A and B are shown apart, each in its own frame.
Chain A
Amino acid sequence: MTAYYAAITTLLVSLAIVAIALFVSRSRLPSEASSAATSTVYRIRSVYFVIILVVAVISLAFTLPLTPYPNKYSEKKPDVTVKAIGEMWSWTLTPGADATSAGDNLILPVGKMVEFEVSSKDVNHNFAIYNSAGELIAQVQAMPDYTNRLFYTFNVPGHYYVLCLEYCGLAHHAMNTEFDVK
């Protein structure tokens, strides 16, 4: 839902910007009133300055605590751990002790916190999880020499897909895998 809210906000603000531009461009007055018109703009600017600062600070206060990064102070122990390794141009998902698999197919439990330990054997990749409706629900970079830890709780059972979202060469667009949540 984050993407939709963000997109709608952007659309509304863009329309407001166009409306302001139209209003300003259609304003007409003899040039002798020029200084009065400029003073009006600068008065509005002072008010705008305060408003945008307040909006920026409030937005930062609300959004900065929502970051997806592991927090060593408040971190809960994950229920399931999965090692996810990217390599040109495939993913290897290796379940830890608490996950199950049926043949090659990884199965993760619904409603349990999963930790993906994501890394790469060669170049940069990006471990992006999509649900079967095609919605991007979580992602993290897969970088060689580093392990990025992504925590996610799947509340909806179903079939999930992993796509690579960091350009990684010739078959980047075909680098994907799948798993189930039951």
Chain B
Amino acid sequence: MDDEQYGKAIRSVTQLWVWTVPALFLVLVLLGLTMRFNQAGIIDAGADFFYAVMTLHGLGMAGTAFVAGLAGVTYLLARYVRVNLAIAWAMYALTVLGIVGLVIACLIGKFGPGWYLLYPLPFITNGVWPDWALLLAVLSLIVLGVAWLLGQIDLFRALVARYGLTNALAWQYFGKQSAGRVEIPPIVLISTAACLVPGILTTIDGAVLLILYLFKWFSPSLTFDPLLLKNMVFLWGHTLVNITMYLGLAMVYELLPKYTGRPWKTNAVVALSWNAVLFLVLLAFFHHLYMDFAQPVSLQYIGQVASYLSAVPATVVTVFGVIGQVYRSGMQWRFVPLCFCLGIVGWVIGGFAAVVDSTITVNSAFHNTLWVPAHFHTYFIAGYILMLWGFLYEFSGSAREGLAKTGLWLLVAGAYGFLFMFYLGGALGVPRRFAAYGSIPITSLATISERMAFIASAFIVLLIIGLLIVFGVIYGGLANRAFAGSAPVPSQ
């Protein structure tokens, strides 16, 4: 297969992702709106339905965001390396299969233990979800895990085959500069060090956890250590969400220079930073267990230190890198760089709120309050997702700049309004994952929680209007482009 054929083939599979992801995302946002409506008392969906929706929303959003990023980066890396197309198609097909399974388990089977399936809750159903729903959910997650593991391993293989492991990790930049040094673009380094190595390791951790769950489904008398399994689920889930952010940044590193006209190259500082991320991203998850006082205290300290230090490479290299790209570049604020830069702003604000919450003593006040969804929704909906829309728009070839920007500003306004209610709720100690606030015995807290959910709902509606406009523009671009014929990916 020559470069042009490969370019067309990888474009075809990516195109399918670009059609699928916005639609999926929109449905998942509507599930989020349903939850806020219920919390505001606008609808009464029932606690069993609420928690099933909450589970699907969490699993769906984390999974969609991750796999969209993986597919996008795989496409952008086609300039440098070739992945196995059969695996790329299998990743799409298996992901769809897994999603269908989860939708059935959650919406029909009322499977609702939360995205993190915290042991042993999935097995103590109290009649809410039947055994088949649990089995279907676990099997669906295994299918998704296999799909994403295959995709990650194959991309890793392609990068290592072209550059060698140490070069792909940019270790050649640590020695003296030599004439024969292999230069690598930042997207290769970020994909390898910050995404694929930790991603593969922790997906295996997730797979082990799910297989243990499968064993317990077949043999209910089996028991496991709940603290160990809690560590395992957060190692998997936390890392997956973190590397999703880095997939977004990899896209920004690759595409922003096109708009600023300035090169963005790997150097020793960039190499050191992203190698530091490789270790920090694997250690920060301990901050999810701060309130488990039985956890060894040394691990709690490691969680805070790793969380704090992870801010250093993130801001020193990426934020200053973006500023270096944009500052006095004379760049035109087209839709794609606007998405990227707004996304970086959301990522930094959400990241700061996360670092604040990763302080053990602060976590005593914020753990499992609305502060937690506040910060991770910030770096998703106002951060990574904007970067992703930038990529999707670029891919679609749309030229409806004005309309797209209108949609983007509505989306951003809706997002920050909705997020502000989360932050305010967190500061006031409003619990997260509550189907309804009316049962809170402290009347003042119950009332303010409901009112904030009401205001947040209005902002989500605004956000959805913005999303619809942006998606309309992306889909319009895709439809026109498909008619004009697919352009091949340039090869080097």
Q: Which of A25-33, A93-101, A103-111 contacts B (4 or more CB under 8 A)?
A: A25-33
Q: Report the separation of the CA atoms of residues A173 and B438 in the bound assembly, to the nearest whole angstrom.
A: 9
- In the bound complex, residues from chain A placing their C-beta under 8 Å from that of B16 are none
Query: B405 in the interface, Cβ–Cβ < 8 Å?
Result: no
Query: A18 in the interface, Cβ–Cβ < 8 Å?
Result: yes
1/0 per residue, CB under 8 A from B, across A143-182: the answer is 1111111100000000001010111111111101010000
B320→A3 contact, CB < 8 A: no
B316→A68 contact, CB < 8 A: no
B292→A63 contact, CB < 8 A: no
Known contacts A4-B427, A49-B316; A122/B293 CB under 8 A: no
B360→A6 contact, CB < 8 A: no
Known contacts A6-B366, A170-B126; A41/B320 CB under 8 A: yes
How many A-B contacts if CB must be within 8 Å? 239
B297→A69 contact, CB < 8 A: yes
Q: Which of A79-120 contact B (CB under 8 A)?
A: 88
- In the bound complex, residues from chain B placing their C-beta under 8 Å from that of A24 are 323, 326-327
Q: Which of A40-93 contact B (CB under 8 A)?
A: 40-42, 44-45, 48-49, 52-53, 56, 59-60, 63-64, 66-70, 88
Q: Report the separation of the CA atoms of residues A127 and B111 in the bound assembly, to the nearest whole angstrom.
A: 25
Q: Is the interface of B mostly helix, strand, loop or mixed?
A: helix
Chain A interface residue count, Cβ-Cβ cutoff 8 angstroms: 82
A34→B328 contact, CB < 8 A: yes
Query: B428 in the interface, Cβ–Cβ < 8 Å?
Result: yes
From B368, B426, B439, contact of A166 by CB (8 A) = B368
| Number of chain B interface residues as a range | 35 or more
Query: B434 in the interface, Cβ–Cβ < 8 Å?
Result: yes
Query: B311 in the interface, Cβ–Cβ < 8 Å?
Result: yes
* Closest A residue by C-beta to B125: A169
- In the bound complex, residues from chain B placing their C-beta under 8 Å from that of A149 are 293
B433→A172 contact, CB < 8 A: yes
Residues of A within 8 A of B (CB): 2-4, 6-7, 9-11, 13-14, 17-18, 20-21, 24-25, 27-31, 33-34, 37-38, 40-42, 44-45, 48-49, 52-53, 56, 59-60, 63-64, 66-70, 88, 122-124, 126, 128, 130, 132-136, 138-141, 143-150, 161, 163, 165-174, 176, 178
